[in-house]
Structure 1
Amino acid sequence: MRKIRTILGTTLLALVLALLAISSFAQQTNRAEIDDKYKWNLTDIYPSDEAWRDAVNALSSELDQIETFKGTLTKSAENLLKAMKFNSNVSKEATRLYIYASMNSDLDSRDSKYNGMKQELQHLFANFGAKAAFIEPEILATDWATIDGFIKEKPELEQYRMGLENMFRTKAHSLSEGEERIMALSSTVTGTAADIYGTFRNAEMPAPKAVLTNGDTIEVTSAAYSRYRASSNREDRQRVFEAYWHNFAKFKASIGEMLNGNVKSDMFQAQARRYESSLKSALYPNNIPVDVYHSLVENVNKNLPAFHRYLEIKKRMLGVDTLKYLDLYAPVVKDVDLNYTYDEGSKLVLEALKPLGKEYTSTVKKAIDERWIDVYPTEGKVTGAYSNGAFYDGHPYILLNYNDLYDDVSTLAHELGHTMQSYFSNKNQPYPTSDYAIFVAEVASTFNEQLLFNYMVKTVKDEDVKLSLLMNWLDGFKGTLFRQTQFAEFELKIHEEAEKGNPLTGDSFSEIYDDIVKRYYGHDQNICFVDDYIDMEWAYIPHFYYNFYVYQYSTSFTASISLAEKVMSGDKKALENYMTFLSAGSSDYPIELLKAAGVDMTTAEPFEKAIAAMNKVMDEIEVILDKKGL
């Protein structure tokens, strides 16, 4: 999830970039050929670019008013309320402006028009942030008792309590007015590395070619790579892997500088605000103990034998002498093609989500029917999938790259989880607490995936299809818990190296990544052979530009397994608690919200339950394999 925040922590942009299930709907590259019902209706945000421009001009004319509040904030409850309201209204309108430009840009990253609109807004908001830099220092110049008294005097201030309390909790990391102004202005440059990476990767990076075993020559775009890595033809997988990763290696130095620039930006933010590390800087504002991060990495490394068991099952089902990294996405059940059109997949998801109640499923249907979702890949469209729930007065949006695979159905369920959390939080929370922290963002999404899996396993009768679904779940488990923790360990390591003063280059990134990936996959134990060119995979992961985001896929996944088990057992109180969680926004700290929902992430219990669930599925798979004599 990528966030740009105003002074008081209100969300300016919340994009959940979830999964790396990049689609390959290769035949449909012309957006004009796609039926409108499968495309976003962005006129819900603004009816036209002209209306957007009018809104920009209107907001611009109001921004200087922020300076009229200077020196008045702590003189009365009324003054504080006026300033908070003004800041909140600016944030809400700025968010609306930004998502319109951003999502239009995402539909065709080759079109510089909307990218230019984004840059214009970034400059505008950076200037506003500089003018508003006095707010936090001025409030912190008084004591909490005074602010608490204001809130009691003016009940309208209650909606800002959480943000104000957190401001005082993080007081040691707040700066003077002048310093805050510099920090605000710096936002125009600190995101440059991520912007360059996104533009290069999605729009300008040339695609290599590969010759398939049938003689066809293909362009190995990211979409094609995603398609052919799941091919049943091992030689084709080999050729596509080699072409794709060797192509990344040609740009190792440049992409290395991009990621190095992002790490330096994280370090700058941390050091400027007097945090002991970039990790602490990323986690402390949401009151997440760094032990949660370290424990995740340690627990995963301790449980690599369970991961290796999964790899041995994969090897057994593929019938290969040596399992290779390029085999990990290959179909393992012969003659079973889990293909679903988007319309079929939508119906499956709606059925699977019925345990969450009528309001939940009717809103999901509305999202499908009323063009909240942009479904298919087209030329220039950003890869992957995300849900953007930042349009507070409207509705969330989902970007997909749907390719008729079961993974795409699962991705749809995943993104709808994000969308529904945004929908319920926006509906039940005032704007200042409608956003939710990154730490809980992946709970609702992986919860939906779990419901879909359970529905599919219970409804299918064919043993081969069931086996395919069970393996698909394990693949998802691998991708969400082990693979994301692998990324989290890499992200932690590169920041630690930079903080020690060690240089970061494309070569050093590859060396660090190679060591981690080979350890996780048991390369030296002959569990899974990892080709040397996989040391470039770090350059493929956009999440490394989102400041310690990826670990939350893993923590959220373990939380969602625990919560889903309770809801699916028919526990009405568990369902009530879960729906309360979805509606809570940022009304409390993430750890406390999850505790109220029924899971304590400061303990090892959620992780242990997740590993137990994994072993249970592997037991079931092995029973079927033994029965089939495989």
Structure 2
Amino acid sequence: MTHIQLAFSYPLMSSKTSSAGGAVNSAPRWDLSDLYQSPQDSKIEDDFARLEKEAQSFEKRWKGQLKVSSASDLVQSLKDYEAIEEGLGKIASYAQLLFAAHTTDAEIGRFAQGVQEKVTSLSAHLLFFALELNRLDDEFINSLYKDAELAKWEPFIRDLRVFKPYQLNDDVERVLLETSVTGRQAWVRLFDETMAAMTAKIGDDDLPLGEVFNRLTESDRHKRHEAAQAISASLADQQKLLVMITNNLAKDKATMDKLRGYPRSVSSRNRANMVEDEVVDALVEAVDSSFSKLSHRYYSLKAKWLGLDKLEHWDRNAPLPKSDDKIMSWEEGKKIVRKAYSDFDPEMGSYAGKFLDNPWIDAAAVPGKSSGAFAHPVVPSVHPYLLMNYHGRARDVMTLAHEMGHGIHQILAAQSQGYLRSSTPLTLAETASVFGEMLTFQSLLEQEKSPERKRHLIASKVEDMLNTVVRQVAFYQFEVKLHQERQKGEVSAEHIGQLWREVQERSLGPAFNFTSDYDLYWSYIPHFIHSPFYVYAYAFGDCLVNALYGVYRERPEGFAEKYKNMLAAGGTLRHKELLAPFGLDAGDPAFWHKGLDVISSLIDQLEADPA
């Protein structure tokens, strides 16, 4: 299947819709003409026709021949395969990006579906290649690595062969590929279109669901409560469909895992992330054991600041009293992010400038557009694109910094490694994005002179870190429970809500009183649908960045070059090799606590503040 990777921002719709007029509304829409001019562009059909011929020729030339290939033959086959995959990736990327920006447009939906079907059909000619590479004898393939050109491809082949024990026979793999467009992918599309079209009623107005989520950051508690009730009603209206989608996708995953022989529901995700099960277990255990000193402690402080005995779920993202509600224009947000990256390293600032000065970002908050944010690497011959919904809040600036990190990472990796070797496991894909957020936060903190505003900045950063670490690990724990229950049979809406409530109460702590309507809130989170078990990658990335930033603070000399080398490695190195130059080891359980201690120390500062 074509090699496509989207790096998502954490799934929160928590910025506030602004009435600041043109200042925020000037946020740009992207221009996809660097890919194709429109869905009617004749180059799309021309490229499909060319790629169809190339794929058929590739299959005829190489099928059944890899086991008797020389090193030079294998290199040529890999180059041919990469060229076809990159061509398919360009078309698929265009369709995906167009659909993300216009999710409720029926014509674009049909176009995107048509592209996906053609890509899947054409990819059937390429399917044999990875399967046959995996069947090559270890001794044979290792002997070929003596060739310098083939040795460059060793990381790609190595990562393919991670899945060797779980590979099915060729006929079964082909059926699974060709039926995916009417199976899993169809359910995902249904979810996306449903969520993009959903509205919630505030007074007499039916507003886009994302806009109402943004109202959960209102300073007026009554307005937050009103928004929460509207969201709950909207989710309740769609609950039957959302429960059906979730159950079908969980069952589909269980069936695939059983066919392939994966021992746990999360095992396939860990293999794709090139991370050991025990490393993920150590991360989750470390975060879980820190709930009381992190989220429980912070939200108890927040309840006190807000003058409440208990927080309701609609209070979680409430601004602190006397917090600056300033709306920042798109130009102001750009300036902040550009400065943060440029101050860290001029070359990184230059890359940030490419995104900010060209139409590579879709930031306008408009109806019918995908909620949340992501970065899409597209293909090395073009450039990544970023999508977000900019409302002018500090958190939106952080989201821009986050996606910018992804975009720069993708450029550096693609330039160095090409299409197939640039893809980074999700655990490491979040490193550059979270590091970019940290740079921006520290830049803002250093510029701020007011002690009160500094406290608000720290509190906001703590909340973002809790969302990235505690909340995402809780999401992961919810997914584990849900997939375990689905193996026993279809899971009711009530039982899913119960599982959700259990992990929320445990992770967020006694400061909260959760009303029963919150049992529905699992159903809007797209990662559960798009990428099961993706979410722990955020906690992995945040803790890793906290440790990495500590190294930068202690030993800044030469750090930027080592950091850029790490990003440029793409998917060619594993986490142990990437972190070794910084003296870090994610396999050490103490590593995770080092990252969590950074969050705890910020909460210490807030506790020590008499305000």
- Normalised TM-score (structure 1): 0.91
Cα gap change, 1:228/1:431 in structure 2, threshold over 3 Å: closer, same or farther? closer
Cα-Cα RMSD: 2.3
Tell me whether 1:351 sits opposite 2:339 in the alignment: yes
**Residue type of the partner of 1:265?**
D
Cα gap change, 1:611/1:146 in structure 2, threshold over 3 Å: closer, same or farther? closer
The equivalent of 1:369 in structure 2 is 357
Instruction: Compare 453-462 and 45-54 and name the one that shifted more.
Output: 45-54
Contact 2:341–2:352 at 8 Å: present in 1 too?
A: no
- Normalised TM-score (structure 2): 0.93
Contact 1:581–1:597 at 8 Å: present in 2 too?
A: no
Q: Deviations over 1:352-394 (max 9, x none)?
A: 2234311110110121001111111112111111111132111
Query: For 1:436-515, what aligned pairs fall within 5 Å after superposition?
Result: 436-499=424-487, 501-515=488-502
Aligned with 2:469: secondary structure? helix
Query: For 1:305-324, what aligned pairs fall within 5 Å after superposition?
Result: 305-306=292-293, 307-324=295-312
Instruction: Compare 504-513 and 51-60 and name the one that shifted more.
Output: 51-60
Contact 2:274–2:425 at 8 Å: present in 1 too?
A: no
Match of 1:65 among 53, 57, 68: 57
Contact 1:70–1:135 at 8 Å: present in 2 too?
A: yes
Contact 1:159–1:432 at 8 Å: present in 2 too?
A: no
Tell me whether 1:42 sits opposite 2:32 in the alignment: yes
Match of 2:516 among 512, 532, 541: 532
Aligned with 1:572: secondary structure? coil
The equivalent of 2:526 in structure 1 is 542
Task: Output the CA distance in 2 between the equivalents of 1:618 and 1:225.
Answer: 29
**Residue type of the partner of 1:176?**
N
Match of 1:387 among 375, 387, 395: 375
Cα gap change, 1:352/1:570 in structure 2, threshold over 3 Å: closer, same or farther? farther
Aligned with 1:278: secondary structure? coil
Q: How many residue pairs were aligned?
A: 603
Contact 2:340–2:440 at 8 Å: present in 1 too?
A: yes
The equivalent of 1:225 in structure 2 is 212
Tell me whether 1:179 sits opposite 2:172 in the alignment: yes
Cα gap change, 1:598/1:556 in structure 2, threshold over 3 Å: closer, same or farther? farther
Tell me whether 1:147 sits opposite 2:134 in the alignment: no
Contact 2:16–2:218 at 8 Å: present in 1 too?
A: no
Task: Output the CA distance in 2 between the equivalents of 1:136 and 1:422.
Answer: 24
Q: Which runs of 5 or more residues in structure 2 are unaligned? A: none
Match of 2:504 among 517, 523, 538: 517
Q: Which runs of 5 or more residues in structure 1 are unaligned? A: 212-216
Task: Output the CA distance in 1 between the equivalents of 2:123 and 2:25.
Answer: 41
Match of 1:572 among 557, 572, 581: 557
The equivalent of 2:540 in structure 1 is 555
**Residue type of the partner of 1:111?**
D
Q: Deviations over 1:138-187 (max 9, x none)?
A: 3344312322333434x332332112223344322122222222232232
The equivalent of 2:236 in structure 1 is 249
**Residue type of the partner of 2:256?**
Q
Q: Deviations over 1:447-504 (max 9, x none)?
A: 11111111111111112211110110111011111111110110111112223x2322
Tell me whether 1:201 sits opposite 2:195 in the alignment: yes
Match of 2:48 among 52, 56, 65: 56
Tell me whether 1:619 sits opposite 2:604 in the alignment: yes
Aligned with 2:386: secondary structure? strand
Aligned with 1:340: secondary structure? coil
Cα gap change, 1:187/1:160 in structure 2, threshold over 3 Å: closer, same or farther? farther
Contact 2:16–2:393 at 8 Å: present in 1 too?
A: no
Instruction: Compare 365-374 and 318-327 and name the one that shifted more.
Output: 318-327
Contact 2:378–2:384 at 8 Å: present in 1 too?
A: yes
Q: Deviations over 1:323-353 (max 9, x none)?
A: 2221111111315224311111111112222
Task: Output the CA distance in 2 between the equivalents of 1:273 and 1:391.
Answer: 30
The alpha carbon displacement at 1:22 in A equals: 5.5
The equivalent of 2:4 in structure 1 is 12
**Residue type of the partner of 1:379?**
P
The alpha carbon displacement at 1:96 in A equals: 0.6
The alpha carbon displacement at 1:439 in A equals: 1.3
Tell me whether 1:296 sits opposite 2:283 in the alignment: yes
Match of 1:600 among 582, 585, 589: 585
The alpha carbon displacement at 1:135 in A equals: 2.4
The alpha carbon displacement at 1:80 in A equals: 2.4
Instruction: Compare 386-395 and 287-296 and name the one that shifted more.
Output: 287-296
Aligned with 2:311: secondary structure? coil
Aligned with 2:371: secondary structure? coil
Contact 1:29–1:378 at 8 Å: present in 2 too?
A: no
The equivalent of 2:151 in structure 1 is 158
Tell me whether 1:99 sits opposite 2:87 in the alignment: no
Task: Output the CA distance in 1 between the equivalents of 2:252 and 2:274.
Answer: 21
Cα gap change, 1:247/1:420 in structure 2, threshold over 3 Å: closer, same or farther? same
Aligned with 1:400: secondary structure? strand
The equivalent of 2:404 in structure 1 is 416
Identity level (%)? 25
The alpha carbon displacement at 1:591 in A equals: 4.3
